[in-house]
Amino acid sequence: MLGSGGATLNALLIFEKLFGNNLKNVRLLLLHSGGLSQRIPHVALTGKAFMLMPDGKTLFEHKLIAYRKLLNSFSNFGGFLFITSADVLEYFPNDFCISNIPKEISLFLIAHQSNLDVATQHGVYVLKEKEVYNVLQKPSIEQLKKVCGAILEPNEFSPFETALTDSCYIIGPELIENLIKNRKENGEVICELCCYRDFLCPIGSAPNEEKMIHFMNKNVELFKWQQILWNIFNKINPQIISLGINSFFHFGTVGELLEHFFDENSAFKKKFLPNIGEIGNLANCIIEKPENISQKSFLEWCRINTNCTIEDNCILSGVVYEEQTPIYIKSGMCICTFPIGEEEEEGKGESNYVTVIFHIEDDLKRKTSKEENLKWFGHSIKSLKEEEDSLWNCPLFSFYPTASKSFLKTIERINFGLNDSTPIFSIAQVLEKANVNKMLRERKKLLEETIV
């Protein structure tokens, strides 16, 4: 595991190979994908950056639109590396502008005002006289209260206490060159570095003993790289700007996605999807009877006839239903259908489909040592479980010759139990066997039909 930090250093080597001496003049966007999308499984195959929003644009497209507003302020600036995460959207107001940016900067930080619960899951910038004093990494609320300046008092813009949390950031040519130099001198990264904790925690004017609390001296390799990065970033005086409250939107779980899309008070919807009522909750779908679909469920890339009814708080992706048997999808289901098998050549090759279903409250990553504690829609999976100990790795799903049949049979498996002898796969195995090219062809065909 390289982590986002090791991946950043490796990416810089590739950029240097691609652009050579011109690297200092090139503007690069580095989007960290982050993990297997186990908390939002319908995008596990394509990646979080390419999840669809209700307006039909991907998260990545929305990011590019937002970043144009930022880049307008850097029109006279040379090259840089812009680092961000694939599962977040940062909101820049239409009149966003930064004045007096010097032509050369080492590090430019974007921050957000977040409530204290959110702050405990992020890096927190502590400012003194508008400059970075310290960076706290995932501090507890008690730690925030102990550090002077970490908590911002309520004001006319925020009725509650907030903290300045980390986000995307820009590194300039000189810092890029320094990182590349140190990566070459110190060899491969064989530990999990973080481009937030290990890059940003050394910055600030606080005494060193206040900033070194994140060093992992029990891991020799990690400690070595943290010292290397410390010597680089500890000397930097970054520029920082806050985008204020309601400017950072995370899409890390199905629950967060549904809240952003459908909550009446959703700040995300107001800022990014002001016409959501007109756009609806169906993205690139052919639905014969839309009134059967709850307005608080989101469907993408689906083709469904009149015999399917869907309750609230569901997400369906790639689902096809053409059967005559009426089915009823209860609230809170995340359903995805994947084509699996080898790529077909000249009409040959086996084509099958697997439909994966979980409840949106299921923790697919949670491991348990007690088999009886691992359940799927109330069904004990003790008899199916061998060495694996999480829903992500448990064999629960069968393949069928059509996407429609796969959907129906998986619903029946939920309703009547895991009692057939068809070979079964875990979601981890399904993703390994998925035929991405076939999925993209089917999506292209569906998109062409919806446009017509």
Taking 90 as the threshold, does the pLDDT of residue 72 lie above it?
Answer: no
pLDDT higher for 141 or 98?
141
* Domains in the chain, number: 2
pLDDT higher for 276 or 192?
192
Model-level pTM? 0.90
**Domain identity same for 333 and 240:** no
**Domain identity same for 304 and 193:** no
Taking 80 as the threshold, does the pLDDT of residue 348 lie above it?
Answer: no
Whole-angstrom Cα distance, residue 407 to residue 330?
A: 14
**Domain identity same for 342 and 445:** yes
**Domain identity same for 57 and 145:** yes
- What DSSP designation does 51 have? P
Rg (CA), the chain: 24
Neighbours of 24 (CB within 10 A): 14
Q: Is residue 262 part of a domain?
A: no
Q: Is residue 23 part of a domain?
A: yes
State the pLDDT at residue 426.
Answer: 93
State the pLDDT at residue 13.
Answer: 97
Q: Is residue 265 part of a domain?
A: no
**Domain identity same for 64 and 108:** yes
State the pLDDT at residue 437.
Answer: 94
Whole-angstrom Cα distance, residue 395 to residue 386?
A: 9
- What DSSP designation does 212 have? G
CATH number at residue 153: 3.90.550
**Domain identity same for 158 and 61:** yes
**Domain identity same for 325 and 414:** yes
Q: What percent of the chain has pLDDT over 90?
A: 72
Average pLDDT value for residue range 284-312: 96
Q: Among residues 250, 273, 303, which one ends one of the domains? A: 250
Whole-angstrom Cα distance, residue 300 to residue 287?
A: 11
Q: Is residue 414 part of a domain?
A: yes
Taking 60 as the threshold, does the pLDDT of residue 384 lie above it?
Answer: no
State the pLDDT at residue 388.
Answer: 52
Concatenating the DSSP letter of every residue in 352-420 gives: EEEEEEEETT--TT---S-GGG-EETTEE-TTT-SS--STTTS--EEEESSHHHHHHHHHHHHHH-S--
Neighbours of 284 (CB within 10 A): 16
Each residue's pLDDT tens digit, 210-237: 887 777 777 899 999 999 999 999 989 9
Average pLDDT value over all residues in the chain:
90
Each residue's pLDDT tens digit, 73-119: 887 778 899 999 999 999 998 888 887 777 778 999 999 999 999 99
Q: Is residue 199 part of a domain?
A: yes
Taking 50 as the threshold, does the pLDDT of residue 385 lie above it?
Answer: no
CB contact at 8 A, 84 and 66: no
**Domain identity same for 289 and 243:** no
| Long-range contacts, stretch 12-21, CB < 8 angstroms, 24+ apart | 12/81, 12/176, 12/179, 12/180, 12/183, 13/180, 13/183, 13/184, 15/81, 16/180
**Domain identity same for 28 and 77:** yes
Taking 60 as the threshold, does the pLDDT of residue 386 lie above it?
Answer: no
When mean pLDDT is compared across 96-100, 160-164, 395-399, the lowest value belongs to 96-100
Average pLDDT value for residue range 229-253: 94
**Domain identity same for 164 and 301:** no
Q: Which of 363, 308, 359 is nearest to 334 (CA)?
A: 359
Q: How far is CA 150 from CA 143, 204, 209, 240, in A?
A: 9, 13, 17, 15
**82 token code pair:** 């812009």
Q: Is residue 260 part of a domain?
A: no
When mean pLDDT is compared across 184-193, 209-218, 311-320, 348-357, the lowest value belongs to 209-218
**Domain identity same for 303 and 222:** no
Q: Is residue 269 part of a domain?
A: no
Q: How far is CA 241 from CA 96, 110, 118, 127, 169, in A?
A: 11, 5, 19, 11, 10
Each residue's pLDDT tens digit, 410-436: 999 999 887 766 778 999 999 999 999
CB contact at 8 A, 353 and 338: yes
Identity of the residue numbered 261: F
State the pLDDT at residue 383.
Answer: 47
**362 token code pair:** 């299921």
Q: Is residue 275 part of a domain?
A: no
**Domain identity same for 33 and 139:** yes
Q: How far is CA 275 from CA 235, 253, 270, in A?
A: 46, 24, 8
Q: Which of 302, 270, 264, 267 is nearest to 283 (CA)?
A: 302
Q: For residue 369, what are the domain limits?
A: 281-451
